[in-house]
Amino acid sequence: MGAVPVKFYQVGSFAVGNRLLDPDLASVQSDPERANSLTSGHRACQGCGEALGARYALDAIMRATKGQMIAVNATGCLEVFSTPYPETSWRLPWLHSLFGNAPAVATGVAAAMHAKGRDDIRVVGQGGDGGTVDIGFACLSGMFERNDDVLYICYDNQAYMNTGVQRSGATPPAARTATTQTVGPEPGNVFGQGKDVPRIAMAHEIPYVATATVADLRDLEAKATRAMEFRGARYLHVLVPCPLGWGSASCDTIKVARLATQSGLFPVFEAVNGEVTSSTKIRHQVPVEEYLKLQSRYAHLFRPTRRDDVIKKLQAMADRNIERYGLLEPELAPAVPAAMSNEPVEVA
């Protein structure tokens, strides 16, 4: 109607689809013909964020590359739940070697494709935070340093979930894991340790680094698609809640990821050649507590005695992210709307 482009206020671009949207602008996931790179029957837990994140990212890349891609997988949940021999959930060329060598294997695949003159076939390396942040880190850093033509995606669920929830270099402070029990004066994981791999990747000055979550599908799809416009080493870090390891309800996977971003604990941004170029603004800011209280890995911060000192330190981390990445619109700086903070918590 008229010259002014009509906005879709009903659901804007937040929902997966919109019946009023031009099909060319529709999300990959709203397409009944989407690749379904990771298909049904996989053995991921109910409400698995990683299964969701992997399908979101890979389906977008399948569309961006018109199906011309190969995925290399590190050991981890994503590998184990998708490929119990001889079954597989993958509907794309997929290769698994070891826990620690996925980036190096991906480099090799890219080199092989190049040698064969098939630079049109794009290579994606992927793994969980254990395989990326800890075990495969040397290979990853090497891949970055050489600027190999690989997009590496880390599905970060913040611990070694496959082997029973042990701490990784991506486990946040205060979180309970099997190896960071809630005992002593500073229960849970320690403060001041761990690695911020998106920033480490940026320090390598590779062409493209981005973070995303399963709570913002369109943002994730846009970043996976944009990553394929570059050649050289690229890194995508996706926050994928784990109901089992985080102790959250299986129905809350997306909600928890959303609260991670809206509290500022997980900054969503994009960096080109080592410089942050944009960040996704917080829409409805929430205190970190809103995020923490949905997860039993933080239950010790509320029971039997409330640990305001620890919650305050976590809030300080969120505030630092907000400051560092400019996560709040300065003029808006919204207060928490009552309607959002009273969302009922469904227990599965």
Partner 1 sequence: MDKPFAITLDVGSSLANQTGSWRVERPMYVDLLPPCNQACPAGENIQKWLYDAEDGSYEKAWRTLVEENPFPAIMGRVCYHPCQSVCNRGKVDEAVGINSVERFLGDMALEQGWSLPVPAPDSGKRVLVVGAGPSGLSAAYHLRRLGHAVTLRDAAPLPGGMMRFGIPKYRLPRTVLDAEIKRVAEMGVTFELEHRTEHALDEMTAGGFDAVFLAVGAQIGKRAYVPAGEAARILDAVSVLHDVEDGELPLLGRRVAIYGGGNTAVDVARTAKRLGAEEAVIVYRRTRERMPANDSEVEEALEEGVLMKWLSTVKHADAGKLMIEKMALDASGFPQPTGEFEELEADSLVLALGQESDLSLLEDVPGLEVSDGVVKVDEHMMTGYPGIFAGGDMVPAERTVTVGVGHGKKAARNIDAWLRGGERPEPSKHPVAEFDKLNPWYYADAPHAVRPRLEAARRASTFDEVVQGLDASTALYEARRCMSCGNCFECDNCFGVCPDNAVIKLGPGNRFKIDLDYCKGCGICASECPCGAIVMVPEEG
Q: Which of 87, 308, 323, 329 binds partner 1 (CB under 8 A)?
A: 87
Q: How many residues bind partner 1 (CB under 8 A)?
A: 62
Nearer to partner 1, 42 or 96 (CB): 42
Per CB under 8 A, 97 contacts partner 1: no
Q: Which residues of 179-208 are buried (b: 16+ CB within 10 A; e: fewer)?
A: ebebeeeebbbeeeebeebbebbbebbbbb
Please report, as residue ranges, which positions from 279 to 298 form the binding site for partner 1 (by CB under 8 A): 283-284
What is the helix (H) or strand (E) element at residue 208, kind and residue range? strand 208-213
Of 63, 64, 82, 109, the one binding partner 1 by CB under 8 A: 82
- Residue number with CB closer to partner 1 (50 or 148): 50
Q: Determine contact, residues 127/82, Cβ cutoff 8 Å.
A: no
- Distance CA(201)–CA(299), nearest Å, equals 32
Residue 303 contacts partner 1 per CB under 8 A? no
Q: Does 25 bind partner 1 (CB under 8 A)?
A: no
Minimum separation from the CB atom of position 315 to partner 1 (A): 22
Identity of residue 25: L
8 is an interface residue for partner 1 by CB under 8 A: yes
Quick one: 20 or 115, whose CB is closer to partner 1? Answer: 20
Q: Candidates 97-105, 161-169, 182-190, 336-344 — which segment interacts with partner 1 by CB under 8 A?
A: 336-344
Q: In the complex with partner 1, which residue's Cβ is closer, 150 or 256?
A: 256
Structure tokens at 328: 């709040």
First to last CA, the chain: 45
* Residue among 17, 118, 119, 312 that touches partner 1 (CB under 8 A): 17
Among 39, 163, 181, 278, binds partner 1 (CB under 8 A): 39
Q: Which of 22, 23, 41, 117 binds partner 1 (CB under 8 A)?
A: 41
Regarding 251 and contact with partner 1 (CB under 8 A), the answer is: yes
Q: What is the spatial order of strands in the sheet that 151-156 belongs to?
A: 94-96, 69-73, 122-128, 151-156, 234-239, 208-213, 269-272, 275-279
Distance in Å, CB of 156 to partner 1, minimum: 16
172 vs 319: CA distance, rounded Å? 15
Q: Are 257 and 239 in contact (CB under 8 A)?
A: yes
Q: In the window 125-164, what residues touch partner 1 (CB under 8 A)?
A: none
User: Site map for partner 1, 217-236, x if CB under 8 A?
Assistant: x-------------------
User: What does each C-alpha distance from 42 to 249, 254, 286, 328 come to in angstroms?
Assistant: 20, 19, 34, 38
Q: Residue 163 — left, alpha, or beta (φ > 0 → left; ψ -120 to 50 → alpha)?
A: alpha
Q: Is the CB of 304 or the CB of 344 nearer to partner 1?
A: 344
> Least CB distance from residue 85 to partner 1, whole Å?
7
Work out the angle between the directed axes of helices 137-145 and 102-115 (0-180°, nearest 10).
40
Q: What are residue 177's DSSP bridge partners?
A: 180
Is there a contact between 36 and 90 (Cβ–Cβ < 8 Å)? no
Residue from 111, 200, 254, 299 that binds partner 1 (CB under 8 A)?
254
Q: Which residues bind partner 1 (CB under 8 A)?
A: 1-2, 4, 6-20, 27, 29-30, 32, 36, 38-44, 46-49, 51-52, 55, 82, 85-89, 217, 243, 249-255, 258, 283-284, 339-340, 342-344, 346, 348
